[in-house]
């Protein structure tokens, strides 16, 4: 049986509107699971890093990981609204490759370039 409880998160409704559906089988039979697209995941993490002071560093690290996965910064930029890009700009400390959030992330340089392109 599929889980029927979801967690509320800042920006979650808008991000889930940018979703895809995966078929998951956790042993009890397959079910559909809606997951955010990369643009939606960036939106959720950006908002979480903006609003959660206690866990900000964790969210920044997750955000850096997601940015390193961006294959087409121009395509992602086109999918994010002005407000989404403004929230990303609020984390311009990630434009420094020396920021701790980038440590150990493969393709960190690509993530930094993606952030710069998306927020310009």
Condensed to tens digits (0 to 9), the pLDDT of residues 55-102 reads: 889 999 999 999 999 999 999 999 999 999 999 999 989 999 999 999
11 is written with which tokens? 């920006």
- Residue 30, domain member (yes or no): no
- Residue 24, domain member (yes or no): no
38-51 helix and 56-68 helix, angle to the nearest 10 degrees: 160
Tokens 């995941």 sit on residue: 41
The number of domains in the chain is: 1
DSSP state of 26: S
Please indicate whether residue 88 or residue 36 has the higher confidence score (pLDDT).
88
- Residue 3, domain member (yes or no): no
Query: Phi/psi of residue 105, each to 5°?
Result: -90, 120
Mean pLDDT confidence for 91-115: 95
Q: Whole domain around residue 95: which residue ranges?
A: 37-119
- Residue 4, domain member (yes or no): no
Q: What is the pTM of this model?
A: 0.79
Give the model's pLDDT for residue 105: 95
Three-class SS of residue 35? strand
């Amino acid at each position: 049986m599929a889980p029927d409880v979801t967690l509320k998160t800042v920006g979650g409704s808008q991000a889930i509107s940018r979703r895809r559906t995966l078929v998951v089988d956790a042993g009890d039979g397959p079910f559909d699971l809606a997951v955010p697209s990369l643009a939606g995941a960036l939106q959720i993490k950006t908002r979480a890093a903006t609003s959660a002071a206690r866990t900000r560093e964790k969210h920044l690290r997750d955000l850096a990981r997601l940015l390193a996965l961006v294959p087409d910064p121009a395509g992602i930029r086109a999918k994010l609204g002005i407000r989404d890009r403004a929230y990303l700009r609020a984390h311009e400390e990630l434009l420094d490759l020396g920021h701790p959030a980038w440590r150990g992330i493969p393709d960190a340089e690509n993530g930094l370039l993606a952030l710069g392109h998306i927020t310009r």
